[in-house]
């Protein structure tokens, strides 16, 4: 098990120095407990309780009494420095693990997020990372201090035995030590099963919470309050049940060890009868007690390890996912693309066996405004998603300027594409910053020109702080149409040779839509455009229209050609004109 957790000790690497000091302090603290305490008893008790013939001076008495604070001072200071430094290292380790986890989330393929719930990922990134930190630092700490303390106390006992001849008593006392390991092992086995369970249930609770928070409107509109509370209650119940089971075993550990220890002590007592004097016995008991403490710690270390393993497994499930969409080792740089797109025998499925795009062959020459139409679920969005490599084709390929997309540097490819999604997401930042993500080096003038072109400038100026207004989480303080116009402004600012508009104007009223149509006409000039729109006003002017049906392109041409020759297109068109 140690071998499993070992790769993660690299997180401790940058903090070697501090860790070494901490460990050193740990050894001092361990020795001060294991040998210092019994030594103190041995030095102080006989002088105080069995005075010799010559009475001590006040100074001598004071010096003897000072043994007590002296031992505790060393032990206290060393323990403090040890635990404090370990905490410092631990906090930094947590930061690194969490950051690695977050970094991984940035590059995972989108398909990953369709399989894993937000709540579950949240709990992995927070609770499990936290648990791993606790485990790593506890182990790093105790793995030195407890054995040091144990070794010191055992050595001290051995030394006592050597001097005193009460060897039998000592040996019997020591024989009890391995016995305590038995309950530790038994409980440890039970614990590992529970530990993973707790984190999983915690993920479920977080899941219900985060889903609920993203559906505040639906809950009220459909009167789901009771249902949601019940759902959360059930998840919470399962979590509590797992936690209680874990505690039941964990809390049994200390008493178990103590009972076994007490039994051992009683055996020691019997053997001590008539063999050793009182001071030696009390010293011995102190030494043995000082030795049980680290055994207890090492026992709980075992449980800590199991809890850590549970958390680690859940983190690894994310950290070790192979990146399916990343730069090939031979990836080529791509300066500004011309924008010549081609799909060759392109097949795609989200789940094995369920084809969503079937052997598509289609060239979209640079500068074409290409509209994708077809019934809902026909595969239009999926088709467009292949271009920025949100997904890779299951077979066949997609090319840009003749290069297979998988042979291009991902960052270069994506720099050449501007996307306006149906439901654009804004960051909880100012309007200006939200626009600048499209081109960080843009000037204020560029930003305002882009906003003007997208008919967003006027409404931005009416916001309380203009371009410096914070838009709220996901852009919550703006209307759907306003968000879409900001998304369009981003596309203007990005000025990329390939433009993808997926229902980009669906949230606009007819008046803004008319204005945006004008803006779009400007935006598409000289670019390769994939435009998905339900409104045919947008589509009519396209130079190429692809009609999708159940994953296939069933017809292609201009509006006039298709309206004359394709029944599906005509029915789609006429239905909308009628409404």
Ligand X SMILES: Nc1ncnc2c1ncn2[C@@H]1O[C@H](COP(=O)(O)OP(=O)(O)OP(=O)(O)O)[C@@H](O)[C@H]1O
Residue 356 as a binder of ligand X (CB under 6 A): the answer is yes
Residue 538 as a binder of ligand X (CB under 6 A): the answer is no
Residue 443 as a binder of ligand X (CB under 6 A): the answer is no
Report DSSP state, residue 252: H
Residue 165 as a binder of ligand X (CB under 6 A): the answer is no
Report DSSP state, residue 32: I
Report DSSP state, residue 275: T
In the complex, least distance from residue 357 CB atom to ligand X, rounded to whole angstroms: 8
* Contact residues for Mg ion, defined by CB under 5 A: 381
Q: What CA–CA distance (Å, rounded) separates 314 from 196? A: 8
Angle subtended at Cα 88 by Cα 86 and Cα 89, rounded to the nearest 5 degrees: 65
| 238 contacts: CB under 8 Å, gap ≥ 6 | 201, 204
Nearer to ligand X, 354 or 441 (CB): 354
Nearer to Mg ion, 198 or 372 (CB): 372
Angle subtended at Cα 234 by Cα 231 and Cα 236, rounded to the nearest 5 degrees: 110
Q: Please, what is the end-to-end C-alpha distance for the chain in angstroms?
A: 67
> Tokens at residue 254, please?
């200390």
Alpha helix (H) residue ranges in 108-166: 110-115, 118-123, 129-164
Query: Residue 159: which of 39, 41, 269 has the closest Cα?
Result: 39
Site string for ligand X, 167-186 (x = CB under 6 A): --------------------
Decide if 521 contacts 537 (C-beta within 8 A).
Answer: no
Place of tokens 């400038």: 457
Residue 114 as a binder of ligand X (CB under 6 A): the answer is yes
Of the ranges 100-108, 241-249, 378-386, 410-418, which one interacts with ligand X (CB under 6 A)? Answer: 378-386
In the complex, least distance from residue 341 CB atom to ligand X, rounded to whole angstroms: 17
In the complex, least distance from residue 381 CB atom to Mg ion, rounded to whole angstroms: 3
Q: What CA–CA distance (Å, rounded) separates 554 from 91? A: 59
Among 378, 471, 496, 519, binds ligand X (CB under 6 A): 378
Query: Residue 197: which of 231, 138, 241 has the closest Cα?
Result: 241
- Residues found in the chain: 579
Neighbours of 80 (CB within 10 A): 12
Query: Residue 320: which of 126, 117, 100 has the closest Cα?
Result: 100
Residue 116 as a binder of ligand X (CB under 6 A): the answer is no
Position of minimal CB gap to Mg ion: 381
Backbone angles phi, psi at 331, to 5 degrees: -55, 135
Nearer to ligand X, 120 or 448 (CB): 120
Of the ranges 276-284, 360-368, 379-387, 413-421, which one interacts with ligand X (CB under 6 A)? Answer: 379-387
Alpha helix (H) residue ranges in 325-479: 380-385, 410-415, 431-436, 444-453, 457-462
Site string for ligand X, 332-351 (x = CB under 6 A): ------------------xx
Binds 379, which of ligand X, Mg ion, none (CB < 5 to 8 A, cut-off by type)? ligand X
In the complex, least distance from residue 379 CB atom to ligand X, rounded to whole angstroms: 4
Binds 350, which of Mg ion, ligand X, none (CB < 5 to 8 A, cut-off by type)? ligand X
Binds 356, which of ligand X, Mg ion, none (CB < 5 to 8 A, cut-off by type)? ligand X
Nearer to ligand X, 278 or 395 (CB): 395
Residue 376 as a binder of ligand X (CB under 6 A): the answer is yes
Nearer to Mg ion, 248 or 575 (CB): 575
| 212 contacts: CB under 8 Å, gap ≥ 6 | 219, 228, 232
In the complex, least distance from residue 383 CB atom to Mg ion, rounded to whole angstroms: 9
Residue 42 as a binder of ligand X (CB under 6 A): the answer is no
Site string for ligand X, 47-76 (x = CB under 6 A): ------------------------------
Among 7, 51, 76, 377, binds ligand X (CB under 6 A): 377
Nearer to ligand X, 372 or 442 (CB): 372
> Tokens at residue 120, please?
């579950």
Q: What CA–CA distance (Å, rounded) separates 185 from 294? A: 16
Residue 233 as a binder of ligand X (CB under 6 A): the answer is no
In the complex, least distance from residue 356 CB atom to ligand X, rounded to whole angstroms: 4
Helix then strand then coil, in percent of the chain rounded to 5, is: 65, 10, 20
Nearer to ligand X, 109 or 196 (CB): 109
Nearer to Mg ion, 180 or 381 (CB): 381
In the complex, least distance from residue 226 CB atom to ligand X, rounded to whole angstroms: 31
Positions in the binding site for ligand X (CB under 6 A): 114, 350-351, 356, 374, 376-382
């Amino acid at each position: 098990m140690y071998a499993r957790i070992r790769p993660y000790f690299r997180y401790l690497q940058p903090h070697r120095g501090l860790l070494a000091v901490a460990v050193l302090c740990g050894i001092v603290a361990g020795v001060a407990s294991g040998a210092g305490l019994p030594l103190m008893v041995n030095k102080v008790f006989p002088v105080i309780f069995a005075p010799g013939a010559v009475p001590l001076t006040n100074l001598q008495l004071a010096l003897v009494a000072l043994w007590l604070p002296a031992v505790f001072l060393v032990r206290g200071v060393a323990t403090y420095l040890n635990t404090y430094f370990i905490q410092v290292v631990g906090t930094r380790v947590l930061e690194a693990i969490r950051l690695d986890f977050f970094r991984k989330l940035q590059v995972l393929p989108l398909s990953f997020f369709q399989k894993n719930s937000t709540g579950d990922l949240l709990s992995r990134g927070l609770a499990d990372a936290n648990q791993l930190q606790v485990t790593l630092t506890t182990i790093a700490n105790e793995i030195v201090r407890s054995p040091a303390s144990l070794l010191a106390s055992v050595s001290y006992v051995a030394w006592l035995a050597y001097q005193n001849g009460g060897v039998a008593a000592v040996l019997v006392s020591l024989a009890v030590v391995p016995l305590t390991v038995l309950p530790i092992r038994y409980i440890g086995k039970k614990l590992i099963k529970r530990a993973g369970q707790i984190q999983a249930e915690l993920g479920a609770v977080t899941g219900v919470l985060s889903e609920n928070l993203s559906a505040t409107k639906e809950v009220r509109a459909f009167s789901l309050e009771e249902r949601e509370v019940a759902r959360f209650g059930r998840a919470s119940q399962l979590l509590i049940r797992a936690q209680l089971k874990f505690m039941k075993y964990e809390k049994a550990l200390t008493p178990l060890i103590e009972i076994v220890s007490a039994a051992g002590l009683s055996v020691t007592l019997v053997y001590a009868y008539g063999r050793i004097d009182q001071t030696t016995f009390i010293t011995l008991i102190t030494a043995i007690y000082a030795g049980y403490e680290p055994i207890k710690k090492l026992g709980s270390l075992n449980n800590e390890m199991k809890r850590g393993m549970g958390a680690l497994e859940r983190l690894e499930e994310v950290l070790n996912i192979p990146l399916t969409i990343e730069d090939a080792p031979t990836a080529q740089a791509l300066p500004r693309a011309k924008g010549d797109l081609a799909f060759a025998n392109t097949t795609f499925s989200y789940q094995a066996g369920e084809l969503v795009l079937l052997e598509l062959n289609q060239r979209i020459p640079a500068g074409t405004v290409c509209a994708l139409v077809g019934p809902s679920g026909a595969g239009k969005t999926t088709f467009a998603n292949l271009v920025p490599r949100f997904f890779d084709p299951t077979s066949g390929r997609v090319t840009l300027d003749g290069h297979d997309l998988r042979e291009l540097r991902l960052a270069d490819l994506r720099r050449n594409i501007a996307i306006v999604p149906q439901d654009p997401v804004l960051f909880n930042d100012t309007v200006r910053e939200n626009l600048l993500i499209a081109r960080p080096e843009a000037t204020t003038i560029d930003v305002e020109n882009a906003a003007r072109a997208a008919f967003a400038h006027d409404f931005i100026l009416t916001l309380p702080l203009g371009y410096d207004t914070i838009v709220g989480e996901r852009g919550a303080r703006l209307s759907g149409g306003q968000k879409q116009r900001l998304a369009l402004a981003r596309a203007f600012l990005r000025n990329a040779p390939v433009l993808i508009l997926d229902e980009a104007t669906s949230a606009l009223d007819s008046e803004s839509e008319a204005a945006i149509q004008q803006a779009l006409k400007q935006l598409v000039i000289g670019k390769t455009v994939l435009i998905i729109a339900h409104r045919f006003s947008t589509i009519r002017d396209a130079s190429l229209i692809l009609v999708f049906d159940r994953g296939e392109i069933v017809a292609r041409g201009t509006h006039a050609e298709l309206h004359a020759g394709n029944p599906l297109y005509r029915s789609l068109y006429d239905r909308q004109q009628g409404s």
